[in-house]
Each structure stands twice: as C-alpha cells, then as structure tokens.
C-alpha cells in the first residue's frame, strides 16, 4: 500500500486536515508548519491518491477528448493543443478513439461519464445528436467540432470551410482556370457540402457554373485518391484544375497521375485541404488551423467548466488560409 496522508500526519505529528491544507497551499497554515510538512512529505515520497481526492472533491481535473483516430495527424494536433491549454489549468486529458463507430462513441461517452471528467471535447460523426444529448442529459459540459448539433445549445469550434473553398476557387479563377473540378468526400461529409458551396459561390460571382461532371464522388483517403487519379488519367474531358477533398486525396491523385505520365501542375492543377506537415510535394492547399481549433475548444470548455461561460451557445469560426505553393499553374 502506498503512503497516505495519515502516514504523513503521524510522522509530522499534525492532523490530517493540517497536512492536507499545507500540501494544497491552503491559507491558514503557519509557514514553518507548512514547510515542515512539505519537506517530510517530499522525503517520504508521498504522492496523493487522486481517486480519494477526486471523490472527496466531487470532481476530477480531467478533460475528455473523443476523436475518430489519434493516428490521424489532424486529431493528434488537436489533442496536443487541448492538452497544452488544459495543463495550464492543471487538467489532465483523457483521449478516447472511436474510429467513427457509433458503438465505440457510445462507449467512450460512458467511460467519460464514469470517470466523472469535468468536460468533454467531442468529434462525433455525422448527425448523431442523440449521443450529444446523452452528455447533455447528465449535465456534462462539452464542446463539439464541426457543425453544432441540431437543437442542442452547444458550443462549437470549426474551421471556415466555406470561405476556404471560396478562396481556393477564386485563386484558381484568377490564375486563369475556368474548368474547375471538386473531389467530394462523400454524402456524409458536412465539410464537403460546405466546401462545394464555397466553390459554387466563388465561381458564380465570376459568372461561371461549377459543372456536375467535374464533381468527383468520392475520395477521402490516399487510396481512394489514387484510384480516382487513375480514372482521371484515362478520362477524356478533364478540368484544368481540381480542388481535392483533402491533402491525402490530393497525394493519391498526384501519385496516380504522375505514374500515368501526367504532371502537376503542368497538366492539371491541384489544391488540397488541411496542409499536412508531412507533405513533400509542394501542394497549394487550404490550411485548417487544427492547433487553434484545439486551443479554442479547450478554452471554451474550461470556461464552461469553471462556470464563467454564459448560457448562450457559442460558435467559434476559425479562419482558414490558402497556402500557395507550386501545384497550380498560371494560365493567364
């Protein structure tokens, strides 16, 4: 059995409560006493039992993060950001992966509830607002990424996809591109919908219509991008520029095209989304501020937890940024 506060009390001759107060820097302890207690506790290698502490205080200094897959650098960045902010307030973070599987999401929520975490940052797939309602039902503070769910008055943090896509399309237009394509992430992808909207809007402003035949369903991964790239390489009618669902897709497409003897940007221009760090290809892309997303989510959540948050629903929309590299050819 590990050392307890009673051992320290016995050793120092003070009462448990005094020891507790001293160790926690509570006021009302004589400096010398505090010093002595801390010294002895240190000497004895005392480490407080967090369970007991949490149980007694009716709360754990833990922030939960529920993400799809920490293996995805996008989420990893978010988690680090949350961790950093949380650490400033002495909160630990508990990360749970769901792979976007409903059952795992539900389980993750139960674990968070069981652990009595102070709050949760959630990246829940699709529109399963009932999972969020579950959190809400238990009065658990939480913040979501992406579109805030339905009726619930929920704090949310998201990147301005619409505007990011708008900028990308406009950039292509200004570079002289008129036949612009879009790689869609699939029907369940809210981001794709919004990005599509942004592109449409940008082009319409310039009197151009985004043609249906240039919208490609669907590719979210390198593999899917690769397959699409192979397809494109053999196609007759290609757009001069492509806005990919994300950098991964772009990578796959580029890889396939290059294999087929088509070059980027000479033969076709491509813009990605995310701005993944590991990219070796100089891809022009719309940067999603993951780190800021994490920071904002953590800040919002902590405010709620500490009760400083107002009752109103807050939505943080973060700016995206077009990072210009060398995957777009100037036609003008």
Partner DNA sequence: TTGAAAGCGCTAACAA
Partner DNA sequence: TTGTTAGCGCTTTCAA
By a kind-dependent CB cut-off of 5 to 8 A, residue 133 interacts, out of DNA, a copy of itself, none, with none
Task: Determine the size of the site formed for a copy of itself (CB under 8 A).
Answer: 49
- Helix, strand, coil proportions of the chain in percent (round to 5)? 45, 15, 40
Task: Decide whether 50 or 259 has the Cβ nearer to DNA.
Answer: 50
CB of 32 to DNA, least distance (A): 7
Alpha-carbon span 197 to 190, nearest angstrom = 11
Q: Helix, strand, or coil here: 24?
A: coil
Alpha-carbon span 143 to 119, nearest angstrom = 8
Q: Is 184 in the site for a copy of itself (CB under 8 A)?
A: no
Task: Decide whether 45 or 310 has the Cβ nearer to a copy of itself.
Answer: 45
Helix H segments across 216-262? 222-233, 247-259
Q: Is 227 in the site for a copy of itself (CB under 8 A)?
A: no
Task: Decide whether 113 or 208 has the Cβ nearer to a copy of itself.
Answer: 113
Alpha-carbon span 252 to 228, nearest angstrom = 8
Over the range 135-170, which residues count as b (16 or more CB within 10 Å of their CB) and which as e?
bbeeebbbbbbbbbbeeeebbbbbbbbbbbbbbbbb
Asked if 74 and 285 count as a contact pair (C-beta separation under 8 A), the reply is no
Where along the sequence are the contacts to DNA (CB under 7 A)? 1-2, 4-6, 13-18, 20-21, 23-24, 26, 28-31, 33-34, 46, 48-49, 52-53, 55-58
Alpha-carbon span 15 to 81, nearest angstrom = 41
By a kind-dependent CB cut-off of 5 to 8 A, residue 92 interacts, out of DNA, a copy of itself, none, with a copy of itself
Task: Decide whether 186 or 282 has the Cβ nearer to a copy of itself.
Answer: 282
Residue 210's φ and ψ, nearest 5 degrees, are -75, 120
Among 76, 215, 227, 317, binds a copy of itself (CB under 8 A): 76
Task: Decide whether 44 or 101 has the Cβ nearer to DNA.
Answer: 44
Among 22, 41, 79, 172, binds a copy of itself (CB under 8 A): 79
Residues that bind a copy of itself (CB under 8 A): 1-2, 45, 47-52, 54-55, 58, 60, 69-71, 73, 76-77, 79-80, 83, 92, 94-97, 110-111, 113-116, 137-138, 222, 247-248, 251, 254-255, 258, 276-282
């Amino acid at each position: 059995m590990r050392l307890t506060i009673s051992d320290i009390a016995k050793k120092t001759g003070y009462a448990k409560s005094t020891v507790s107060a001293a160790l926690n820097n509570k006021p009302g302890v004589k400096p010398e006493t505090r010093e002595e207690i801390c010294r002895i506790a240190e000497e004895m290698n005392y480490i407080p039992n967090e369970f007991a502490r949490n149980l007694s205080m009716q709360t754990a200094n833990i922030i939960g993060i529920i993400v799809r897959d920490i293996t995805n650098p996008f989420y990893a960045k978010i988690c680090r950001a949350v961790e950093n902010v949380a650490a400033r307030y002495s909160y630990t973070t508990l990360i749970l992966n769901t792979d976007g599987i409903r059952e795992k999401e539900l389980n993750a929520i139960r674990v968070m509830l069981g652990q009595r975490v102070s709050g949760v940052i959630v990246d829940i797939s699709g529109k399963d607002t009932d999972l969020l309602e579950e959190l809400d039902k238990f009065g658990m503070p939480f913040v979501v990424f992406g579109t805030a769910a339905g009726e619930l008055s929920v704090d949310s943090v998201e990147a301005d996809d619409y505007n990011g896509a708008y900028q990308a399309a406009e950039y292509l237009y200004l570079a002289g591109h008129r036949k612009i394509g879009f790689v869609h992430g699939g029907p369940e992808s809210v981001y794709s919908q919004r990005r599509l909207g942004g592109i449409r809007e940008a082009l319409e402003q310039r009197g151009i219509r985004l043609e249906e035949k240039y919208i490609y369903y669907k590719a979210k991964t390198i593999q899917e991008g690769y397959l699409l790239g192979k397809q494109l390489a053999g196609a007759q009618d290609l757009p001069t520029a492509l806005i990919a669902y994300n950098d991964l897709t772009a990578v796959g497409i580029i890889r396939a095209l290059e294999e087929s003897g088509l070059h980027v940007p000479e033969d076709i221009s491509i813009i990605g989304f995310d701005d993944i760090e590991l990219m070796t290809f100089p891809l022009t892309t719309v940067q999603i501020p993951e780190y800021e997303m994490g920071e904002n989510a953590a800040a919002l959540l902590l405010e709620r937890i500490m009760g400083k948050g107002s009752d109103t629903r807050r939505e943080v929309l973060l700016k995206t940024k077009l990072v210009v590299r060398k995957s777009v050819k100037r036609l003008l």
